[in-house]
Structure 1
């Protein structure tokens, strides 16, 4: 299903004069070894039985093999079972144990931090914000890059406005003196040079470092940290902006000094004792049932009864809570419940080795990652569409109308979704789930899931400037 691309052409050799202009590797903080951290695809302890070689004419090798096999039978490798609890108020499942949080995230990318965008990193970011840890978090790096980009746009707007005012002054002076309108080629060249100047990232980095060092020196001398002047330009002239633009600029570039944690808490206080981790891992219902039924590494507890919910009782519970508001216990379970359709697709792609994450930010049901979100972007976006091809759904007119209403999609909807995926460079996969006729919900879970079928349909938008060959 993935598109095979040809390897990139080898780049020409770089001379020593160009190689010296590259930034040094030591200037960037070292990245974590994600290959080692996420080396396990699932939170399972898989230890195959490795028997020593058996040599027929050597009885010692036979005894060694038997002893190894008996040792494995007597003390098999233990599998840790993690705990989570089901919250009926929000119809979600939460994990609060820090050890379980790290294991579920590092081994399969299950869930997300409720105070983070993806990886549960609130505690680390809070320690860095209070000065207890060195370095910068990913959110801080993103915020810095966005601030630099915003400052670049403001500087470019200032330079363009100054050059326009200079050109208007020259033209006005020429009209007053009665001479012909002077050529503006020099002004245009200056405009291009100035815009190119402010488009260079090195110049922006130098300006950012200079302003930061000036603020640090001012703060060390005990003076108040001055806010950057929104009306000052690069060449010393003043430019007036609207009140809304000035307010946005001052708000985005102003810096609030943080309180020194060492002076407040003392040097003998441990960082973990200052504040506790207020973040928990929130896993989707599909992920939770896959961990409970598919892998057997999770136990979901009920907050009200404080007892573990077996898989046979967890499935109807999640099916009822897939509606809003949740259905009553006496309500009949339908074969096209939202949870059943989504879990069948989730289990299907997880079994094929894909890392399945929520695709709500792109207007889809799921996103498929080849290895995980820390390694690369998602290649495919999945849309789930129920399909009623079984003969049961065409027996009566009422069932035909019900099936047609459930699987109806408009071309406008398909065009909008496909356009979004093309802009973010993802291929749209439409998954048709064959819905079986209603059956007894008390039967075995494996038999129930085996009645569903998944058909994949890859839809790629043709873009002329990307597919010219």
Structure 2
């Protein structure tokens, strides 16, 4: 089946989805502070009350033994945040409600030390955060896409309301210059992802980053909303469906 790649312009266009359609932009209690611990490669919220509040305020985090948020207590279950979620809650205006204690260094992380620490844990953290920030800014709720072999899957409002609409992969400038990259520039790789996501009723969204986010600069991180991002949607082209759409719009 042919693949159609549609350009979405310099800024992702999300049709009728607006930021106001998504979860709240700030916690109800503006003075709330939630504690978390960076344990090895995971940011963990140990308090059940804090975990519940964080999840309900924007579908941040996940229970380790379930598909979504925190549930009944279990000795073997933890509630954890993705690195990008933790940094978002630590740094973005309107939130800034999370403290992160690093068990390795035995100290609390500020924005700069957190950025460096997370970048050491995951070399792709800067790129993933840039994509995550842009998606949140446009009203989407991104969650881990590792189950589908992608960076994120994104929801309208949240997983409690709708199934994920798109599978998202983040492509850095360095990826595009690498002939062995697996990030969507190869038609074979793209078609493999297409087959996988089509089986779960999703399309592929490819976000191309135009800047270098590897070196922390507070002004750059806080101005990501102004940074140009090229976005494309890849869908499977069906002749019958496309022909019917063309007839309805009078283009044939």
Aligned to 2:91, the other structure's residue is in SS state helix
1:93 to 2:52 alignment: no
1:82 touches 1:298 (CA, 8 Å); kept in 2?
Answer: yes
Q: What CA deviation, in whole Å up to 9, does each residue of 1:232-282 have, x standing for no partner? A: xxxxxxxxxxxxxxxxxxxxxxxxxxxxxxxxxxxxxxxxxxxx7553211
1:299 to 2:103 alignment: no
1:116 touches 1:122 (CA, 8 Å); kept in 2?
Answer: no
The match for 1:368 among 154, 159, 164 is 154
Cα distance change on mapping 1:416 and 1:305 into 2, 3 Å: closer
Match of 2:87 in 1: 289
Aligned to 1:432, the other structure's residue is in SS state strand
Q: What CA deviation, in whole Å up to 9, does each residue of 1:39-69 have, x standing for no partner? A: 9524513xxxxxxxxxxxxxxxxxxxxxxxx
The match for 1:446 among 185, 200, 219 is 219
Q: What CA deviation, in whole Å up to 9, does each residue of 1:291-340 have, x standing for no partner? A: 00112010000224543211111100000110xxxxxxxxxxxxxx4111
Match of 2:6 in 1: none
Distance 2:194 2:210 in 1: 23
Deviation at 1:466, TM superposition (A): 5.0
Higher relative contact order (CA 8 A, sep 6+): 2
1:456 to 2:231 alignment: yes
Distance 1:309 1:118 in 2: 27
After TM superposition, the score normalised by the length of structure 2 is 0.77
Structure 1 gaps of 5+ residues are 5-38, 46-76, 124-275, 323-336, 389-400
Match of 1:16 in 2: none
Matches within 5 A, 1:11-410: 40-45=23-28, 78-88=30-40, 91-123=41-73, 278-294=76-92, 295-322=95-122, 337-387=123-173, 403-405=177-179, 409-410=185-186
Structure 2 gaps of 5+ residues are 1-12, 17-21, 245-252
Match of 2:250 in 1: none
Deviation at 1:448, TM superposition (A): 5.0
After TM superposition, the score normalised by the length of structure 1 is 0.43
Aligned to 1:460, the other structure's residue is in SS state strand
The match for 1:420 among 196, 215, 220 is 196
Deviation at 1:349, TM superposition (A): 0.6
**Count of residue pairs the alignment pairs up:** 221
RMSD of aligned Cα (Å): 2.8
Deviation at 1:3, TM superposition (A): 6.5
2:23 touches 2:158 (CA, 8 Å); kept in 1?
Answer: no
Higher strand share: 2
